[in-house]
Amino acid sequence: MDVNAAVAALAAIAGVCTGVIAMLAFRWSERDQARPTRTSLHTDAVLPPGVDTVLSVLRSSAVVLDESDSVVKASSAAYALGLVRGGKLAVEAMLHMARDTRRDGEIRQVELDLPRRGTGRGEALAVSARVAPLGSRLVLLLVEDLTEARRIEAVRRDFVANVSHELKTPTGALSLLSEAVMDASDDPEAVTRFAGRMQIEATRLTNLVQELIDLSRVQNDDPLEDSESVRVDELVAEAIDRSRQPASTKQINMASGGTPGLHVWGNRSQLAGALGNLVENAVNYSPARTRVGIAVHRVSASGGDLIEIAVTDQGIGISEKDRERIFERFYRVDPARSRATGGTGLGLAIVKHVAASHGGEVTVWSSEGQGSTFTLRLPEAAAARERTATGQDEDDHGPDLDADPDATDPSLRLAPPTVIPAPEVLP
């Protein structure tokens, strides 16, 4: 009996001890939960009310730093630019700005050039960084990407400089020639010669101003506002007629071929101007007694069928380094020859903008000493494709190249598709 009483007493004492220990553990757990931890200092809870919402809608890259320079909050754009790595601000110059602002409370702003992530070519990323205090312990860093804005500004600056130079050349020549005419008033032969030069410079100036207007129009206008189904045969016929006189002077044969009855959808005047520029360039930069061809085909593509118009010449060709820049405004492969032919350096830039605005593209293939092929690809008009499939072609819309009265002229004869293979060079 005494033994049983002793065991019961020990059991009671053990139960009391267990209860006390459980109570102490519970109190200790509540105390730890109430105490701020090291990780909780770097969560959104330390941000002032509303700041997290504001940062989430900002276009600029946002980074919030605490007093130990650890990142409390960073937007996805900041990670994309490579500003934050491993929970730290990776740009040393911005880190120094943040420390200075935390010390004196002044707002600072600076423009920096940062290396691009994932490129080994040393390309710079232009950014504008602004640092401001956020409360008593935090610092806010806003970074804006200025790379595209700087590129556009450089293009605009170069364009203005090039326009000024190109306009100054013919106007200066006209001024000098007019003075020469006045000085040679008693020499009819000299007056006639100088007047002829003045007409050439005046024509060049007129062409330059017109192409500037055309370039501005294709850049600003929406081709869909005045679009229609355009017959490709008509565009080809207009391009040939536009270059008929200079081609005849140089004894250049122009031939067209390919698939008849195709249509594209877009602004007719812009498309005619783009194709006319390609044919005109082919004639101007081809030697005498050569051949220029225009081939039209339908090609299949993932997003729908495309109409491919290839303009091939037998000129001197274009070097590889020049092929990368020929679609830039005012760029000329041979400036001396461009001036001799009246070229302004804007024709291919206009072609590029027209193709892009119509959902297409323009490409070039060239081999020095053999010739070049410029290929204009445009989406086919869906309604015209259905009409062609059912055999209901529009015979009363525009001239038929086969029935053209000049078809007996070998320079305008409709050649079979195999005569002008693109991008192969004409024989």
> What integer pLDDT is reported at residue 394 of this predicted model?
43
- What's 223's DSSP letter? G
User: Bigger pLDDT: 53 or 18?
Assistant: 53
CA–CA separation, 416 and 220 (whole Å):
39
* 199-226 pLDDT tens trace: 888 888 887 787 777 777 776 666 566 7
Cα separation, 29 vs 350, whole angstroms:
74
User: Residue 19 — very low, low, confident or very high, per pLDDT cuts 50/70/90?
Assistant: low
pLDDT digit string, tens, across residues 254-299: 999 999 999 999 989 899 999 999 999 899 888 999 999 999 999 9
Pairing of strands 253-258, 291-299: parallel
In DSSP terms, 74 is beta-bridged to: 63
352 pLDDT above the threshold of 80: yes
Q: Say whether pLDDT at 307 is over 90.
A: yes
Whole-structure pTM value: 0.53
Q: What percent of the chain has pLDDT over 70?
A: 71
Higher pLDDT: 56 or 283? It is 283
Distance CA 257, CA 259 (A): 7
Nearest to 375 by CA among 401, 352, 359: 352
Instruction: Quickly list DSSP for 43-73.
Output: SGGGSPTTHHHHHHH-SSEEEEE-TTSBEEE
Between 146 and 345, whose confidence is greater? Answer: 146
Tell me what percent of the chain is helix, strand and coil, each rounded to the nearest 5. 50, 20, 30
Poorest-pLDDT segment among 85-99, 186-200, 323-337: 323-337
Orientation of helix 147-183 relative to helix 188-220, angle to 10°: 160
**Least confident range of 52-56, 71-75, 105-109, 356-360:** 52-56
> Which of 52-56, 160-164, 280-284, 334-338 bottoms out in mean pLDDT, i.e. has the lowest?
334-338
pLDDT in tens, 228-244: 899 999 999 999 999 99
Q: Which two tokens stand for residue 325?
A: 């820049």
Asked if the model's pLDDT at residue 91 lies above 80, the reply is: yes
Q: What is the pLDDT of residue 156?
A: 74
- CA–CA distances in Å: residue 295 to residues 158, 257, 258, 385, 426: 36, 5, 5, 18, 11
pLDDT for 400 beyond 80? no
Q: What is the mean pLDDT of the chain?
A: 76
Quick check: 378 and 355 in contact, CB under 8 A? yes
Which H or E run contains 179? helix 147-183
So what's the pLDDT on residue 408?
A: 33
pLDDT score for 203:
83
Which three-class secondary structure string do you get for 89-121? ECCHHHHHHHHHHHHHCCCEEEEEEEECCCCCC
pLDDT band at 324 (very low <50, low <70, confident <90, very high): confident
253 has pLDDT over 90: yes
SS3 at position 254: strand
What is the C-alpha to C-alpha distance for residues 101 and 135, in angstroms, rounded to an integer? Answer: 12
Percentage of the chain with pLDDT > 90? 22
Instruction: Specify the higher pLDDT residue, 399 or 241.
Output: 241
Q: Which band of pLDDT confidence, cut at 50, 70 and 90, is reported for residue 122?
A: low
Q: Is the pLDDT of residue 3 over 60?
A: no
Q: In the prediction, which pLDDT does 344 show?
A: 61
Contacts of 416 (CB under 8 A, 6+ apart): 257
Q: Is the peptide bond before 423 cis (omega within 30 degrees of 0)?
A: yes
8 A C-beta contact, residue 231 and residue 263: yes
Name beta bridge partners: 145: 127
* Of 189 and 395, more confident: 189
pLDDT for the residue numbered 411: 36
pLDDT one-digit tens code per residue, 25-37: 556 555 544 444 3
Tokens of 15: 């139960």
